[in-house]
Structure 1
């Protein structure tokens, strides 16, 4: 009796000779873990960490970005990031939708690394699973980057402007960093190290978020003065999903279920835990009490800092990086920010500049110091790479890391500014004052919670409770009679 070709071992196209089922399984699991960081992770975190009146809008900004990136990614952006070279910093735009492309063995065409004399040093990256798995995995990284940018803009960006911003920034900013550092572009060829996105994702989102926040303008004065989280416990739930999902974030970037992925996952947790504890201790020392929000910020800075070197450093280095990521971003957020006129003028809602840009830069720089030669040879295309602490060419590696960071910073400052200016010609970047005063109900006609005396009203003539939406003049927003009444 015959069975479907998908189950016929290595005797069919469904299970090709090059396919490693373990690698493919781990890559899809890793991609899903990264996706769970966004949906529901950051959707929950954003919806909980903001003021109640912005819970729906903040969560929706994340959800919209996740969906919009998906369509842009498979239509044109994947190959701009990982396809054939168009420019030293950009790939050729084309779709990743046809089965002839998606079922063949994964490959990054521009990733062949050459010696100075033109001979091949390291062959093209060709993981042992189909292109479909690679497209899926990398899409999750692109999605979470846009959602991180949103963290700087919560509580005042016009949702329609955000709907335009997402595809434009993905196309003209994210794809540049991804191809330049990961896809075989000029920084990849030069040997800049970014194991899993300290530069491509975190530094870029932190700089882009701060830049966009400048162009969008600040929240209302009332919101800036007092912006308490509406649900601390749900915020911790979102943060927990973010932490656990980072196993896929860093563990999936060797493109294989190998010993390097194990090192990356272990180092990720070591650094995050250290950073959280250091941040909490500083809060106790300086403010006399531990902050739950502060602990989450310390966790995030640790996760971000280890990301560019997760599978390349030893455990003791992960602890050192955790100490640095728990203290330096704390200092820039709690001390420098309050004394800096420039940072005070730009309203970065969740402090993404500190938690992602500062921590991402710190992680990239320390990777240039702590990259261990044996681990580097397991992963990097440039042979004999090492950090500054290991002598040899290590000092030059540190210089490469700084230059790579400067490129990412400069490109995001310029590209994000141009995108915001162009959108501003078509749609206001900031909500009108009346929407800023009301929040979710004005923007979406929806509220996060229907609590007694808050979101529902009692009318004796109706003999029950009814939604406040019924007070509007928009019939399309009215809830059908009887749906919300409790007689």
Structure 2
């Protein structure tokens, strides 16, 4: 029996391509892209102090654009191409139509789709790093940091864990959608970079209120909903495992948010909006390494852990450890990403279900992907312990990689440009760095120009604006009188 005409293969739809998988993969990639632009752009812009709104949002926007050029120029092949060294692939361009229109190394869709899908993951990682550096990093230094870190850190982690030829991938590490490659990397790199860049101005570090909590919540909502594509796209197919990963993601996140909220109420007496957002983020991060390989009840337990362990380290332990107090991690990415990502990787090593691993990996030796809990249950304790050991090895590798490479990159950039803004720029903020401000004070975008000390207005401009306003009011009064006559 002949296939319907819309399912028949042709030059644009070759026999190996699954139209449904391709459509879902592009959709999932777009959802992850929306987490970056506008998600993290408005999340950062709303969560920082008013004078840093433009700078913070722009750091995210710049990173998204810069990574794309690096990715198609050399990054994709370094992360997923032919082996160059143990930890990395051969750098090469991803621009030729013959390469892009062929079948991807995994899945039933073209390489162009894979390049775009993996790009949005590569882009969101340095944007998350930026969360630790807001409010003081020199923007020119940031412009250098993003391509350097992407090239010498992200591609190594991605190749080692996600590329079929990667050494950790061959050992059997489970990182479903980036708990290690993205979140642990960004958390450790952000904390390390924050150490080298230095702290914010004292006033900012003492008091750093969000300038627009509703805008912050809008960005947080885009992050949460965008995670449907983040974890749902990891199987590279519109499959049952993709659906399970999506459900587990939202269940874990909701549990984590509620856990954090209850802890805030119990210990501080008030339900904090910012606290709830932090709990949401830790839940999203924690479930990412194992979203499609754990049971839904396990996702609830992981949410309870991700809502409580990072809460304790952020609210209690942070003030007791000198290193955590010394390093000015603006948005606490060490707790929300490094710690939550590590926690998720360990819990994945405990809760991973062999059958679900088989659905995800679709390889003959799927039985080796077994969580310790199921190893104990089925008498395969050694296999479960091995999996847990591999998960811990992945954490150690990604941590060491990012401490070393991030430190080297920061020290290299420091030889060329200052890592930190000047004290004068730190005092003024956006207007000093970009010559722009987030919120106009007057109609039609007009505003008073701030003086150097940011406390008095220019007298001439004040006189000019007031004269113009008086003239407009006089004209309005005459118009009203004419109407009355």
For 2:337 and 2:259, locate their aligned partners in 1 and report how far apart those are by CA, in whole Å.
17
Aligned to 1:19: 17
Aligned to 1:413: 403
Counterparts of 1:334-373 in structure 2, within 5 Å, are 334-373=315-354
Instruction: Give the 3-state SS of the residue equivalent to 2:8 in structure 1.
Output: helix
For 1:80 and 1:13, locate their aligned partners in 2 and report how far apart those are by CA, in whole Å.
29
Aligned to 1:327: 308
In the TM superposition, structure 1's runs of 4+ consecutive aligned residues that sit over 6 Å from their partners are: none
Of 126, 142, 145, the match for 1:165: 145
Aligned to 2:426: 436
Larger of the two Rg values belongs to structure: 2
Aligned to 1:81: 79
For 2:214 and 2:193, locate their aligned partners in 1 and report how far apart those are by CA, in whole Å.
29
Instruction: Give the 3-state SS of the residue equivalent to 1:230 in structure 2.
Output: coil
Residues 312/459 of structure 1: CA separation in 2 closer, same or farther (3 Å cut)? same
In the TM superposition, what is the alpha-carbon distance from 1:309 to its structure 2 partner? 0.1
Per mean C-alpha deviation after superposition, the further-off stretch among 300-309 and 374-383 is 374-383
Aligned to 1:276: 257
In the TM superposition, what is the alpha-carbon distance from 1:259 to its structure 2 partner? 0.4
Instruction: Give the 3-state SS of the residue equivalent to 1:19 in structure 2.
Output: coil
Aligned to 1:231: 212
In the TM superposition, what is the alpha-carbon distance from 1:10 to its structure 2 partner? 3.3
For 1:163 and 1:227, locate their aligned partners in 2 and report how far apart those are by CA, in whole Å.
24
Residues 394/464 of structure 1: CA separation in 2 closer, same or farther (3 Å cut)? farther
Report the number of matched residues.
445
2:354·2:366 contact (CA, 8 Å) conserved in 1? no
Of 358, 370, 391, the match for 1:386: 370
Aligned to 1:29: 27
Aligned to 2:103: 105
Of 195, 198, 208, the match for 1:214: 195
For 2:77 and 2:323, locate their aligned partners in 1 and report how far apart those are by CA, in whole Å.
38
In the TM superposition, what is the alpha-carbon distance from 1:341 to its structure 2 partner? 1.0
TM-score, normalised via structure 2 length? 0.89
Aligned to 1:150: 130
For 1:341 and 1:99, locate their aligned partners in 2 and report how far apart those are by CA, in whole Å.
53
In the TM superposition, what is the alpha-carbon distance from 1:241 to its structure 2 partner? 0.2
Instruction: Give the 3-state SS of the residue equivalent to 1:86 in structure 2.
Output: strand
Aligned to 1:427: 417
Aligned to 1:460: 463
Instruction: Give the 3-state SS of the residue equivalent to 2:223 in structure 1.
Output: helix
Per mean C-alpha deviation after superposition, the further-off stretch among 244-253 and 387-396 is 387-396
1:207·1:409 contact (CA, 8 Å) conserved in 2? yes
Cα shift readout 1:257-307 (whole Å, capped 9, x = no counterpart): 000000000000000000000000000011110110000000000000000
For 1:338 and 1:139, locate their aligned partners in 2 and report how far apart those are by CA, in whole Å.
37
1:129 aligns with 2:109: yes
Aligned to 1:123: none
**Structure 2 unaligned runs (5+)?**
449-460, 478-485
Of 28, 52, 55, the match for 2:53: 55
TM-score, normalised via structure 1 length? 0.89
In the TM superposition, what is the alpha-carbon distance from 1:459 to its structure 2 partner? 2.7
Aligned to 2:454: none
For 2:210 and 2:233, locate their aligned partners in 1 and report how far apart those are by CA, in whole Å.
32
Aligned to 1:244: 225
1:276·1:297 contact (CA, 8 Å) conserved in 2? yes
Cα shift readout 1:19-45 (whole Å, capped 9, x = no counterpart): 100000000000000000000000000
Of 355, 366, 369, the match for 1:374: 355
1:449·1:455 contact (CA, 8 Å) conserved in 2? no
Cα shift readout 1:95-145 (whole Å, capped 9, x = no counterpart): 0001000000111xxxxxxxxxxxxxxxxxx31100000000000000000
For 2:413 and 2:195, locate their aligned partners in 1 and report how far apart those are by CA, in whole Å.
14
Of 293, 309, 314, the match for 2:274: 293
In the TM superposition, what is the alpha-carbon distance from 1:383 to its structure 2 partner? 1.7
